[in-house]
């Protein structure tokens, strides 16, 4: 079951064409940690600029709007592209999971350090703000509630 304060899902679009579903889920407010992930529907979008910018926007939302201290990701060790991407985002493996999966974790400081060049390139391409569009009233209310005193973007 989804929890209104702990599970955040977003559909990423490029020119009105949806290409991916991204999430911060199972937020633990005591440890200020949530699990980040994404699913891109077509291979043509995987590894592209749009998916990269969506990931950076999602992580910005988690750290700067929700105020999380850590993000975790679960992925299969054999998916080399996913492993490399997570390393570039600052994730470090913290636990081996069953069936070849791993759990990795990144802090805000490590994210900012690891993605400085990526974030600079993204700001040149798309601006320096995270934009959530087509929000319904409930999303706006909760984003504003969590973003108080944390985010210059909401």
> What is d(CA 55, CA 108) in angstroms, rounded to the nearest whole number?
14
Hey, which of 4-18, 51-65, 89-103, 109-123 has the most confident mean pLDDT?
Answer: 89-103
User: Who wins on pLDDT, 139 or 106?
Assistant: 106
> What is d(CA 152, CA 142) in angstroms, rounded to the nearest whole number?
16
Which residue shows structure tokens 């985002």? 89
Q: Which of 4, 2, 27, 22 is nearest to 12 (CA)?
A: 22
User: Who wins on pLDDT, 31 or 2?
Assistant: 31
pLDDT of residue 151: 41
Tell me the per-residue pLDDT of 17-44, one tens digit each, with 9 for 90 and over: 788 889 999 999 999 999 999 888 777 6
On the question of pLDDT at 148 being above 60, the answer is no
pLDDT of residue 37: 93
What's the pTM? 0.79
pLDDT of residue 76: 94
18: left (phi over 0), alpha (psi -120 to 50) or beta: beta
Torsion angle, alpha carbons of 139, 142, 146, 150, to 10: 50
Encoding tokens for residue 73? 């990701």
> What is d(CA 32, CA 94) in angstroms, rounded to the nearest whole number?
17
Q: Residue 34's Cα: distance from chain center in Å? A: 10
């Amino acid at each position: 079951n989804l929890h209104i304060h702990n599970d955040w899902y977003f559909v990423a679009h490029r020119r009105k064409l949806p290409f991916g579903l991204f999430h911060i889920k199972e937020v633990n407010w005591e440890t200020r940690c949530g699990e980040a992930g994404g699913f891109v529907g077509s291979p043509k979008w995987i590894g592209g600029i749009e998916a990269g910018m969506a990931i950076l926007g999602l992580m910005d939302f988690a750290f700067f709007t929700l105020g999380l201290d850590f993000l975790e990701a679960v992925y299969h060790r054999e998916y080399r592209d996913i492993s490399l991407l997570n390393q570039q985002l600052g994730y470090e493996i913290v636990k081996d999971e069953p069936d070849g999966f791993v759990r990795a974790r990144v802090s805000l400081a490590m994210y900012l350090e690891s993605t400085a060049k990526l974030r600079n390139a993204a700001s040149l391409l798309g601006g320096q703000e995270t934009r959530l569009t087509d929000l319904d009233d409930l999303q706006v209310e909760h984003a504003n509630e969590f973003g108080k005193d944390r985010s210059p973007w909401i």
